[in-house]
Every structure is written in structure tokens, then in C-alpha cells.
Amino acid sequence: MSDVRVAGVGLTPFGNAPERTSRDLFGEASIAAFEDSGVPRDDVDALLYGNFMGELSEHQGHHGPLMAEAAGVRAPATRYESACASSGTAVRDAVMRLRNGEDDVILVGGAERMTNLGTAGATEALAIAADDLWEVRAGMTFPGAYALMAQAYFDEYGGEHEDLAHIAVKNHENALNNEKAQYQSAIEVSDVLEAPQVSSPLGLYDSCPISDGAAAVVLTSEEYAEEHGLEAPVSISGTGQGGDRMALHDREYLARSPAAREAGEEAYADAGVESADVDFAEVHDCFTIAEVLAIESLDLFPIGEGISAARDGRTTADGETPINLSGGLKAKGHPVGATGASQIAEVTKLLSGNHPNSEFVEDATTGVAHNAGGTVASATVHVLEVSE
């Protein structure tokens, strides 16, 4: 079975760019990924592309061949849709195809155009990742759904809004030097607590922004990397995927994420590592409570202890297990179809020493990327390691 190497990564800035199309954004990210990799476009065997709301935001379906054209690639192209885990799912399939020898080079990534819809339009578009019959028609939005999960967590394990505020402060601090981040500004705990309430107990600063952006990653087999003398020291050594019931009222747990735990356990076993081997992680913090659920699901902190991890300094940049050194979805931004691939890019740069926050993990050898869809009805987890 072939090792999978990350040959190159490319990101657009995440932010407010309503005039830019997704093909424009993905083209930019792809150019950067190819330049970083040194891999000729003609060597690409396939494009796997993540996108969630293209039909709603751009009246555009059949994204695969359109994005291949934007990237300058003449290869079979497929779109993946798994809500906010769309490109994480695409990465997983790319890893499997490279491992089984079906392909040698795959361009994988994603993009989303969201801000052109406005806040109300984007919120409505995002809501279709919930159960339309039993949640959306009853008025459920994702801020409301995650507020229910946050309150369930407080009721079962304790904690308060101030604990969540420390997560937002941490992630804004991590984004300060990330030129790709949407919010490169510091905030205080008081800013979070005094911000307008979105859905109790969550406020404005507990929520990730609406974002435009794209990410692209060039993945190759180990054999291709060695044959072509590529500088590709980071490999994806583990991959996992999990699922849960769609609607919150059908689930066994509101204060846990079984899909993410399943994906994490599978990824750890696949890589031959344990959670204790993980030096840092990029997790899907669409809301502050989501980071808590993620780090507990990944077994980085025991259930019930994730709530205080940021407040205690355990997940800060200089803490024992830094979380979201990129700024996370909270501050870096969340163009949903791009997020999973962008996490792979961030972890790769951190492990390679090419990230503005690499100084905090300069001795790290193992990082994890956790990507979730909806209220974590879908999840993918990837383990990345520095190859020997």
C-alpha cells in the first residue's frame, strides 16, 4: 500500500469577496498548490472537489469539470457534497485512491461562494444541511442547533459561556499572523460575553463568519514523489469517516459527537498512532461549543474536560495540545466547501515549518485535521505525519 504525500498546498484569503466566483477562487488556490508542489498539471489523474451550496449561491451544478478547467487540469473531475465536510470527504477518497494504486497524482480541494447571498440567504442555504422535514420547517438554524448542544453540554458536564469565550479569544489570537485569515484582530473575553446574542447561550463571537474562499492540495503516491524528487516531507498516514442521525432529536447524545469519535478512532488505527501521539489539531469550530465536542471526540481531552481546556491554557498556542493554530473556522473563516482541504493545508504548513505559527509546534511530528458536516452528522478525520 502506497504512502500518500502532500506535495503542495494552496489557499486563497478567506473573507468577504462577493464579486468573485467559485471557479475564480479555486483557480487561484490551484495555481498556488501547483507552484508549491512542482507537479505538472498534465500529471494529474483526477480532481476531487468539495462544494456544498453552488446551486443556491451561483445557480451552478456539475462543478467537477468546471473546476478542472479553472485549475488547468484535463482529468476526470468529481464534486463531493457532505455539507461542511465536503472537501474532507474528497480528501479521504483521494487518499484511498492513491493507496490502492488507482492514481498517482490527485488534485483535491474545494471552494464556496457565500457572501453574495447576504446573512439571511447564507443562513437559509446552510440550513439545508439539517433535516428539512423535522428541523428546518420548524425554524431550526445552525446557531440554534449548536445552542441546544451547548446547553445540553452545560447541563450534563458543567461549564458556562465564559469557558466558550476563551475559545474564541484563543482562536482570534492564533489568526493574528495568518495572512489567509478573515479576522486578523484580537478580542477579549469581555467582547465575547457582551456581544449580541445569536441563540442562547451563544453570541456573535461564538459563531464563525460567512466566508468566501478556496483551498487546493496536490497529493501523490510515495512512489511518484520519490521518482520525481519532490520535497514532500508530510504524509497523510490515517483517514477515517463517521456518521450519525441527521436530526438532533433522533440522536442518542446531544453533548457528544459519535460521528467524530468513530472517524477519529478509525484514523488513529489506520495511522498506527494513539491520541496521545497527537501534537496539535485543526478542528471544526463552526461554533465555540463545536471545538469542545471535537477535542473530546478525538480523545485529546476526557469527556467533560474539553470545556475548560482553553480557559486553562491547555489548547492555546503555547499549551500542551495547541488547537486551531490557523485561527480555526472561528477566525480564519469557513467557506464550507473549502474548509476540510484548508485544514489539510494548514496542518501541512505547520508540520513543514512554513506556517506563521510553526514556532509553537517546531518539534511536532503528528497533526490531526477534523472536518464536520451539519451538527456532526458527517465527520472526517485525517492524521498527518512527518515522513521519516
- Close Cβ partners of 343 (under 8 Å, ≥ 6 residues apart): 88, 282, 284, 326, 369, 370, 371, 382
Span between the terminal Cα atoms of the chain, in Å: 17
Q: Would you say 381 and 368 are in contact if contact means Cβ atoms under 8 Å apart?
A: yes
Kind of pairing, strands 46-50 and 77-80? parallel
Question: Is the preceding peptide bond at 201 cis, omega within 30 degrees of 0?
Answer: yes
Residue type present at position 256:
R
208: annotated active-site residue: no
Q: Which residue has the cell 474532507?
A: 88
Q: Do residues 68 and 77 lie in contact, with contact meaning Cβ atoms separated by under 8 Å? A: yes
Could you count the other beta carbons within 10 Å of the beta carbon of residue 362?
8
Cα–Cα dist 297/315, whole Å: 15
Structural domains in the chain, sorted by start: 4-118+213-386 (3.40.47.10)
* Residue 240 to residue 96: CA distance in whole angstroms: 11
**Angstrom distances, CA of residue 277 to CA of 187, 264, 283, 366:** 31, 13, 16, 7
* Grid-cell match 506535495, residue found: 7
Chunked mean pLDDT (size 10), the chain, 388 residues: 90 98 98 98 98 97 97 98 98 98 97 97 94 94 96 98 98 97 98 96 97 98 96 97 96 96 98 98 98 98 98 98 98 98 98 97 97 97 92
> Is 334 designated active site?
yes
Among the listed residues 63, 166, 172, 334, the single catalytic one is 334
Alpha helices in the chain (DSSP H): 22-37, 54-57, 63-71, 86-99, 118-127, 142-157, 161-175, 189-194, 222-227, 258-271, 288-297, 328-332, 336-352
Find, among 234, 232, 230, 174, the residue nearest to 368 by Cα.
234
Q: Is the separation of the CB atoms in 281 and 369 below 8 Å?
A: yes
Query: Contact at 8 Å (CB) between 45 and 86?
Result: no
Q: Which amino acid is at 377?
A: A
Task: Return the pLDDT at 387.
Answer: 85
How confident is the model at residue 1, as a pLDDT? 58
Q: What values do phi and psi take at 291, rounded to 5? A: -65, -40
In this structure, the number of other CB atoms found within 10 A of the CB of residue 127 comes to 18
Distance (Å, whole) CA 332 – CA 261: 24
Q: What is the pLDDT of residue 3?
A: 85
Residues 245/149, Cβ–Cβ less than 8 Å: no
Single out the catalytic residue among 84, 166, 172, 370: 84
What the block records as the C-alpha cell of 116 is 453574495
